Structure 1
Amino acid sequence: MALGLKIVLTFCLSFSTLFPKPIVCLDPGHGTKNARHGCVDEAKVVLAVALELKEQLKQNGFEVVLTHNRLGQDLKAKNPDQDNQKRAQIANRAKAFLFLRIHTDSPSGVSAIYYPQTHPNRPLAQESQKAACLIWRQIKTVLPKTLPQGGVLPESRTKIGAQNGDLLVGSKYSRVPVVTIELVPMSKIGRDWIFQKKNQRLLAQKITQGICDYLYSQH
């Protein structure tokens, strides 16, 4: 393990012994009864990454809340928009210090991380952008060079965001800092890479480091 990562993780562990554990709410994209359908196998792989990430975060002093932990789970939503609203409400009720939404992009898309630039709560938007930048700084180091990378982008750059006042539905209802990761495009190269367990663990490790960086930036 790199020295820098050891220092950051030691800080996280020390912090958790002195104060209440910071809560991260993980939202694996799609996968619930009334969610929008994603790319083929998206729900399966992002749930696998989220479960791996949950374990790594817990090992490093965080409390973790999941919006769902199995495919087909019923959030008692009548439609996809309400499903996304209920996911945000889970993060709000938990008083999460970060709401992390995990997706993969379309085969023609990019690896990127999005933040709600136009959220009416300006401090929330600013914190979301900070978290997005720090997490992206870590995960971009392990993504295959052959995959297109979009970097850190506002939600207005997404198709759904552009149709909903430049905000993704889940972010619109969030009352805590929120970012959405598109881990990889589901092209052949992207699928072959992300379906390897070792790469899921690597992504979880880098996301954990980025979240620790974000926590450290607040103190």
Structure 2
Amino acid sequence: MSRALLILLLLLGSLGRAQTVCIDPGHPSEVGEGTRGKRITEMKAAWKVALLLKAKLEAKGVKVVLTKQTEKQYVKNRDRAATANKANADLMVRLHCDSAGGSGFATYYPAKQGTAQGRTGPSDEVLAMSRAAAKVFHAKLAAGLKGALRNNGLKTDMQTKVGAQNGGALIGSIFSEVPVVLVEMCVLTNDSDDRFMSSAEGQDRFAQALCDATLAAIKK
């Protein structure tokens, strides 16, 4: 088989492949069960939004894999990354809620390698792909949530406590072999954010914004 024909066949095969997204509803993991507001826990908020996002993406023809099968299933962060890797996901979307001061949402991505559990990562290729995806992703996410929640911007893993402790990347990023972003959907210790995220309307709006952001990032 000629080299030109082989390249053509590979291109045709990639065009026909359904795009895959890995959704990672945060917690419980080795870092605990997450934060909580007065009305909803981080674990429940991430799970509910993840299921809504899954349905919306599948309706657009995207193959979706989840890193856990029940809300309270314990999965280590390195195993969450392994699920995305095994699926050869076009993007891994990690869902969390914050408990810091202030309010609003933010998107995080690995801008440099970190080291944890004997591994240094992610690769330079994953860093570059994550950066490119995150820029498109956050712009679309912000547009979808305008007027609903405060936009805290696009940030890097290094700007998180755990990421800084690891030298630059979160554990889920370190073990990821695919582009990865993490969304802090709101600050649950803020009463307004908690009220938004605990409502069916708020959850659906956030899931729709995530869907639009994900589709833009994978160019679906």
Q: TM-score, normalised by structure 1?
A: 0.81
- State the alpha-carbon separation in 1 of the partners of residues 185 and 148 from structure 2: 14
- Indicate the residue corresponding to 2:5 in structure 1: none
Question: What is the deviation of 1:142?
Answer: 4.1
Question: Can you give the 5+ residue segments of structure 1 that lack an aligned partner in the other structure?
Answer: 1-17, 76-82
Q: Answer with 1 or 2: which has the greater Rg.
A: 2
Name the counterpart of 1:160: 162
Count of matched residue positions in the alignment of Structure 1 and Structure 2: 195
Which of the residues 77, 86, 93 maps onto 2:86? 93
User: Are the equivalent residues in 2 in contact too, given 1:31–1:44 (CA < 8 A)?
Assistant: no
Superposed displacement of residue 215, structure 1:
2.0
Matching of residue 114 in structure 1 with residue 108 in structure 2: yes
Partner of 2:134: 132
Deviation at 1:129, TM superposition (A): 1.5
- CA shift, 1:213, in A, is 1.3
Asked if 1:28 is matched to 2:25, the reply is yes
**Residue 140 of structure 1: SS of its match in structure 2?**
helix
Q: Output one character per residue of 1:7-33: Cα deviation in whole Å (capped at 9) or x when no partner.
A: xxxxxxxxxxx612111000001135x
Question: Match of 1:47, SS?
Answer: helix
Q: After superposing the two structures, state which structure 1 stretch, 196-205 or 47-56, moved more.
A: 196-205
Contact 2:109 / 2:134 at 8 angstroms: preserved in 1?
yes
Which residue identity does 1:98 align to in structure 2? L
Instruction: Provide structure 2 residue ranges, at least 5 long, that are not aligned to the other structure.
Output: 1-14, 114-120
Summarize deviations over 1:81-110 as a string: whole Å, max 9, x none.
xx1011101111111111110001114154
TM superposition outliers: structure 1 runs of 4+ over 6 Å: none
Q: Distance in 1 between matches of 2:66 and 2:111?
A: 24
Residues 117/19 of structure 1: CA separation in 2 closer, same or farther (3 Å cut): same
List per-residue Cα deviations over 1:114-163 (Å, max 9, x = no partner).
00000352221121122212221122234365854321111100011111
TM-score (norm 2): 0.81
Alignment counterpart, residue 38 of structure 1, candidates 19, 26, 34: 34
Query: Which amino acid letter does the alignment assign opposite residue 24 of structure 2?
Result: D
CA RMSD of aligned residues (A): 2.3
Give the % identical residues: 33
Shift of 1:35: 5.0
Q: Output one character per residue of 1:35-64: Cα deviation in whole Å (capped at 9) or x when no partner.
A: 522111000011000000000000001000
